[in-house]
A and B are shown apart, each in its own frame.
Chain A
Amino acid sequence: MNEVEFAYRVRQALNEGADSLDYRILTRLEQARRIALARQKSAVDAPLWVPALRFAGEGGTSASDESTPAWLWLRRLGVLAPMIALAVGFVGIYRWHEDQAIAEHANMDLAVLLDDTPIDTYADKGFGVMIRNEQGL
């Protein structure tokens, strides 16, 4: 009998021994397996994905419902809408600041023209503030 054949027969005997383990051992092994599975890396479990946009009062939806095109569109909208609102807000603030600066310069021009204010007042920030305060801007 060669080495591999002998090893094969020993392997059969080992399998028999492993298959006829004591009940106490099997129970302990099963407990160990359960503990190990309970401590499995959380990333391995099915990822918990919460849609960005949920409607109040809406019941739970299955994964298949959430993967439909309508749901995908709502998800994208839920992400994009705040970004669009933020961009519009920035543009509005920029335009408001621009209008304020134009009005301030116009007031200063008017003050210089009407009251013979020296041209150096353009360089004086305090003068601009005074004009603005006087006109209630």
Chain B
Amino acid sequence: MATRKELGEFLASAERRAYKQAVFALRDEDNALDVVQDAMLKLSEHYSDRPAQELPPLFTRILQNSIHDFFRRQKVRSTWVTLLSAFTGGQDNDEDPLETLEAMHGTEAAESAADRAERAQIVGIIEQEIAQLPARQRQAFLLRYWEDMDVAETAATMGCSEGSVKTHCSRATHALARALQARGITL
């Protein structure tokens, strides 16, 4: 059973990555913060009696489910808005929010040192390109290479086969490499 201290330390270590993943998926800082808070609450209220070593995969899965729930709610909301706008003569808005969301701009502020500014710019571009990846590819790539999950854990979290995870990761890597190369960045 995880103690209060263990849970606090885990959340402190995971919150930044969780926030970034939510931002990549949702393209909105406030919505991302709400989703991360929601995931933290669910973990704390329902799963804090689990051993400390089970918290990371549980939290990852809860976060992914919270992101999916957000998209579902947004889709339902946009459906109602579409229905209502048909009566009020508003513009049609039946597109998938995943397709219409704008790319996130780089969040890094310019700093005095030139190299740090350049590095921050590169990080910002990489984050933009990751946000541009298709949702499943991005999810597989981040879980596999950022959250240090193996293929089986990633497949279990995403609810797909291990083969699909490998395919998503490979496509994400190649797409990311191409996109960065097109913007003049070589890692």
Which residues does A use to contact B, with CB under 8 Å? 1, 3-4, 6-11, 13-14, 16-22, 25, 28-29, 32-33, 35-37, 39-41, 43-45
Contacts and interface: CB of A to CB of B under 8 A. Distances in A.
A10 B126 contact: yes
Contact of B45 (A18, A19, A41): A41
Interface in B110-146: 119-120, 122-124, 126-127, 130, 141-142, 144-146
A11 B142 CA distance: 8
Nearest to A32: B37
B33 A25 contact: yes
B65 to A, nearest CB: 16
B40 interface: yes
Nearest to B46: A41
B43 interface: yes
B36 A29 contact: yes
Given A8-B145, A17-B20, A37 B33 contact: no
A16 to B, nearest CB: 5
The B interface is mostly helix, strand or loop, or mixed, namely: helix
Contacts of B1: 43-44
A32 B15 contact: yes
Given A16-B123, A18-B20, A21-B16, A44 B7 contact: yes
A19 B177 contact: no
Contact of B107 (A8, A22, A43): A22
Given A17-B108, A35-B40, A36-B41, 10 more contacts: A6-B176, A7-B144, A7-B145, A20-B120, A20-B123, A25-B19, A33-B11, A35-B41, A40-B45, A44-B48
